[in-house]
Amino acid sequence: MAHNLKQQLFSGVFWTALAKYSGIFISLIVAGVLARLLSPEDFGIVAIATVIIAFFNLFTDVGISPAIIQNKTLTKHDLSEIFSFTLWMGISLSTLFFFASWPIAAYYNSPILRTLCQLLCVNLFFASVNIVPNALFYKNKEFKFIAIRSFAVQIASGAAAVIAALGGAGLYALIIAPVISSLLLFVISVRRYPQHPSMTLGLKALRKIFSYSAYQFMFNVINYFSRNLDKLLIGKYMGTAQLGYYEKSYRLMMLPLQNITQVITPVMHPIFSDYQHDLGRLASAYERIVRLLSFIGLPLSVLLFFTAEETTLIVFGSQWIPSIPVFRILTLSVGVQVILSSSGSIFQAARDTRSLFICGIFSSILNVSGMLLGIFYWRTLEAVAWCIVITFCVNFVQCYWQMYRVTLNRSMWPLLQQFTSPIIVSMLIAAALLPLHYYIDNENIFLTLILKCMTSFIIFGVYIQVTHEYNLLERLRKLAGKVKKR
C-alpha cells in the first residue's frame, strides 16, 4: 500500500513537473517580450480586469471540482447533471459579467476596461463548462495527459500573445492568452470526457456533494478577497501605474512559487483522497512532503531576496526598476507560501473542508487588515508588501495548528521537526550571500546572478551531502556507472 502511494505520487509529480518546468522557459519569454512592449499602465488595467473576472469565476465552480475528485460514488448521470449546472452557470455569469463591464469601467474611470471585460466573458464561459471534464482527469489520476495538454496549450496561447503584441495589439495582447487557453482546455477535455447536458439545473446531483463543496466554495470566496483585494484597492487609490509595478512584483514572486507547488499539490488531493479513512498514514506521508517543500522553498526565498534586482532587470527590463524593492520584500514570504499552499489538499483529502473554511476566514481577515494598513495608513507599495509577508507568516502558524489539533488530531511535534534542517541550510546560504551581495555590487547583473546562484547551490549541495539528507555522491556514481555500461 505504501509502495503504491509512493509510486503514484512519483508518477504524478514527474509528469506535472515535466510540463510545468518545460513551460517556464516559454512563460519567461512571453512575459519578457510583453514587459518590453507594453507599459506598466497596460499591465495595471489588465490586472484589474483579471482580478474581477476571477471573482465571477468563483461562482461557476462553487467547490464542485474538488468534490468530484473526493466523492467516489458519483455516477455518469450525476456527472451529466453537474455538467448541466456548470453550463447554465457559465451562460448566466458570462452575461452578467458582460453587462457589469459598464459600471466596472466607470468606477475605475477607464473606458478600455469595459472592452477588456467584455472580451474576457469568453474565458469565463469556457472555464465554467470545463470544470467537470477537467476534474475527471484528476479523479482518474491521468497526470501524463494533463501534463501534455498543459504544455501544448501554454505554447499555443503564449505564441498568440507574443504575435499579437508584436503586431501592435497593445494591451489586448495580455488577454489573448487566457481566452485561448480556456477555449483549448475545454475542447481537449471534452473530447476525452464527453459530456451530455440535460435540460435540468442539476440540483439533485449537487445535493450529493453539497456538504463538501459548500465549505470549499466559501473558502474560495474569502481566499479570493484575501489574495486580490490589494490589487483592486491599489488600482483605485494609488493608480494603474503603481498597480502595474506591484502586480509585476507579485507575479514574479509567484512564478517560482507556482512552478514548485503546482507540481506537487495538484497530485496530492487525488492520491491522498484514497486515504481519507486513515489519517495517521495521511499525516505521515504529508510530513515527508513538508520536509521536501521546506528544503526547496526556504533556501529559494533567501536566494531570491539577494537576487531581486538581477532577476527583475533580466526578465522585465529597466523600466520596471520601481518594482524591485517590492519584489525583494515579497520574496521573504516565498518559503512560507510554498509550504502553506500544500495544506488545502490535506484538509480536502481528510474530508474537513470546514476547517479549511475556518482557516480561510482567519487568513482573510488578517490579510485584508494588513492590506488596508499598507494602502491607507502608510500609503506605499513597500508597506503593502511588508504587511503581506507578516500576515502570511501568522497564517502559517494558525493553519497548521488547526490542521494538526483539529483535522488530524495529532501532535505538531513531528511536523515541527521537518523544518529544523531546512532553516539551518537557509541561514548558511544567507550568511554567505550577505557579504557577497555588497562585495560585487554594481557589477554586471548576469555575472552577479551566476555567482550568487552558484554559491547557494554549492552550500545547499554540501549541506545535504554532509547531513545525509540525500547522498549526491552515491547518486553521481550510479549515473557514471550507467554511462560507462552504455
What average pLDDT does range 462-480 have in this prediction? Answer: 76
Predicted local distance difference test score (pLDDT) of residue 381: 93
108 pLDDT band (50/70/90 cuts)? Answer: confident
Q: Do 25 and 154 touch, CB atoms closer than 8 A?
A: no
Q: Rounded to whole angstroms, how far apart are CA atoms 244 and 251? A: 10
Res. 60: pLDDT tops 80 = no
What average pLDDT does range 58-76 have in this prediction? Answer: 81
Residues 6+ apart with CB under 8 A from 200: 81, 84
Q: Rounded to whole angstroms, how far apart are CA atoms 378 and 384? A: 8
The model's pLDDT over 402-454, given as tens digits with 9 standing for 90+, comes to 999 999 999 999 999 999 999 999 999 999 999 998 888 778 999 999 999 99
Q: Rounded to whole angstroms, how far apart are CA atoms 180 and 158? A: 9
What average pLDDT does range 146-162 have in this prediction? Answer: 85
Q: Rounded to whole angstroms, how far apart are CA atoms 469 and 454? A: 20
Q: Can you tell me whether residue 440 is helix, strand or coil?
A: coil
Q: Rounded to whole angstroms, how far apart are CA atoms 150 and 16? A: 9
What nine digits make up the cell of 484? Answer: 560507462
The model's pLDDT over 159-216, given as tens digits with 9 standing for 90+, comes to 888 888 888 887 788 888 888 989 999 999 999 888 888 777 777 777 888 777 788 8
Predicted local distance difference test score (pLDDT) of residue 399: 95
Measured CA to CA in angstroms, residue 168 lies from 111, 162, 172, 318 at distances of 19, 10, 9, 21
The model's pLDDT over 301-333, given as tens digits with 9 standing for 90+, comes to 999 999 999 999 998 888 889 999 999 999 999
Mean model confidence pLDDT for the chain: 86
The domain segmentation of the chain, as residue ranges, is 2-418
Q: Rounded to whole angstroms, how far apart are CA atoms 11 and 276? A: 21
Q: Do 277 and 318 touch, CB atoms closer than 8 A?
A: no
300 pLDDT band (50/70/90 cuts)? Answer: very high
Predicted local distance difference test score (pLDDT) of residue 1: 46
Predicted local distance difference test score (pLDDT) of residue 15: 65
Q: What is the pTM of this model?
A: 0.74
3-state helix, strand, coil split of the chain in percent (to 5) is: 85, 0, 15
The model's pLDDT over 4-22, given as tens digits with 9 standing for 90+, comes to 656 666 666 666 666 666 6
Number of CB atoms found within 10 A of residue 192's CB:
14
